[in-house]
Structures are given as C-alpha cells and as structure tokens.
Amino acid sequence: DAGVTQSPTHLIKTRGQQVTLRCSPKSGHDTVSWYQQALGQGPQFIFQYYEEEERQRGNFPDRFSGHQFPNYSSELNVNALLLGDSALYLCASSPEGQGSYGYTFGSGTRLTVV
Amino acid sequence: QQQVKQSPQSLIVQKGGISIINCAYENTAFDYFPWYQQFPGKGPALLIAIRPDVSEKKEGRFTISFNKSAKQFSLHIMDSQPGDSATYFCAAFSGSARQLTFGSGTQLTVLP
C-alpha cells in the first residue's frame, strides 16, 4: 500500500523563479494538506485542499498557491521565489472527517533557493 | 506567533533512561494533541496522540501526560533506545481550522 508520494525529492531554484511541487495522496485519502518546514523548525500549515478547492489557508502570502486534481493528487506552486522559501515542503493526506487522526505525511521535497 | 511551545530543544539520554519532552499551548480551541517522530530525510510519523479529556495515555514505551488546566502536555519515553534517536514534535490539532500547529521540535540522542 503506497503512502504519500512527493516529487521531486530535491530541487534547486534561483531567486525570482517559480516552482511546482507534486503530491500523490495515500490510497483512500481525499484531503491534502501542505506544510513548510524550515531547517530546525516544526512544520507550518500552508493550506488544505478538498474536493478540488482550497478549504483552509495558513499565514502564507499569495505567492503560494495550489491545486487539487480529480484523482485527489495536488500541486503546490510558489511564485517569485525568495531565499527564505528554502525549506522542506511536506504533503499530508487524510480521509475526510478524520482530521489529523488519519494524517499521513510524505517524505517531502527539499527546496533550495539560491 | 508560536501557539505551541516545546522544550528542550535537544536532549541526550543514556540507553535505558527516560526521555521527557514538554509542550505548552495557548489556544483552548485545540481538540487533539499528537506527537510526531521524524528521522532525517523523512516526513513526520505519528507516534501517539491524546484528547484533552484524558490525562494520560500509554502505548508501549511511550506515554503522554496531559494537564488541561495548565495547558501543558508531555511525552515520556521509557527505556530509551538508540533507535529512538530522532526529532520529536508535539502538535495540536484544531478541527475547526483543520490544521496542525507544531512545536519547534526536540532532537533526541540516545547514547548506547
């Protein structure tokens, strides 16, 4: 049973560029949440997608946007990259209604902005 | 604005010892308190969790103690093993906000 799959695993981008990160949720999960984890810090909630719509958003600027597809997979887009966007980006999937009980995290995408 | 405060930042324990990590929260709307274990290069994995109407929960060598009035909770790892060496995060879940708020993490090292 495949868990949450994220791609790519590592990425290096230049300041000002745009990046797209991808997430395939665990089988049977229909809700996808994205978190940013800076080095040495705990993950911070970016947003959550359910039924192809952004349902909840954390304290992140509009440069961060996302999308959820009919097969429940999701993308995180970051525009106008800043050095401070360098972090591990985590995707977590869950079945609707189980809250964080059913959260399964992927291994993340390590983004480095130079 | 940090809503979940975690200490210590790092912890070194001898094999067989007890590891204790503490967390405090501010938002009374939190309704579920999980602990996550994270190894390098991996995402966080759920270790154990507790609801605020329970004062203690034990699963194997791991125990959560919860003090609702003080808005504090802690993780105890009994008989700590070198394989327990990892970063531990406390977290709080708000069902209404549908999000986890994490502490800043504790890097645990268990010496053989």
Contact (Cβ atoms closer than 8 angstroms) between residue B106 and residue B10:
yes
Residue-wise pLDDT tens digits, B37-81: 999 989 999 999 999 999 999 999 999 999 999 999 999 999 999
Q: How far apart are CA A64 and CA A34, in angstroms?
A: 10
Note whether A103 contacts B: Cβ–Cβ < 8 A.
Answer: yes
Residues 6 or more apart in contact with residue B41 via CB below 8 angstroms: A107
Contact (Cβ atoms closer than 8 angstroms) between residue B19 and residue B77:
yes
More confident of the two residues B64 and B97: B64
More confident of the two residues A26 and B28: A26
- HSE at residue B14, side-chain half, CA atoms within 13 A, is 1
Contact A42 B32 (CB under 8 A): no
Residues of B in Cβ contact (< 8 Å) with A105: 43-45
Contact B98 A44 (CB under 8 A): no
Output the pLDDT for position A1: 56
CA geometry: angle B107, B110, B112, nearest 5 deg: 155
B63 in the Ramachandran plot: left (φ > 0), alpha (ψ -120 to 50) or beta? Answer: beta
Output the pLDDT for position B2: 57
Q: How confident is the model at residue A100 (pLDDT cuts 50, 70, 90)?
A: low
Output the pLDDT for position B28: 83
Decide if pLDDT at B9 tops 90.
Answer: yes
Note whether A98 contacts B: Cβ–Cβ < 8 A.
Answer: no
Residue-wise pLDDT tens digits, A35-74: 999 999 999 999 999 999 999 999 999 999 999 999 999 9
Output the pLDDT for position A99: 67
- 3-class secondary-structure state, position A56: strand
- HSE at residue B54, side-chain half, CA atoms within 13 A, is 14
For chain B positions 5-64, those within 8 Å of chain A (CB to CB) are: 6, 32, 34, 41-46, 49
Output the pLDDT for position B103: 96
Residues of A in Cβ contact (< 8 Å) with B104: 40-42
Q: How confident is the model at residue A96 (pLDDT cuts 50, 70, 90)?
A: confident
Q: Which of A56, A90, A101 sits opposite B98 (nearest CB)?
A: A56
Residues of B in Cβ contact (< 8 Å) with A48: 98-99
Residues of A in Cβ contact (< 8 Å) with B89: 42-43
Decide if pLDDT at A103 tops 90.
Answer: no
Q: How far apart are CA A33 and CA A89, in angstroms?
A: 11
- HSE at residue A22, side-chain half, CA atoms within 13 A, is 7
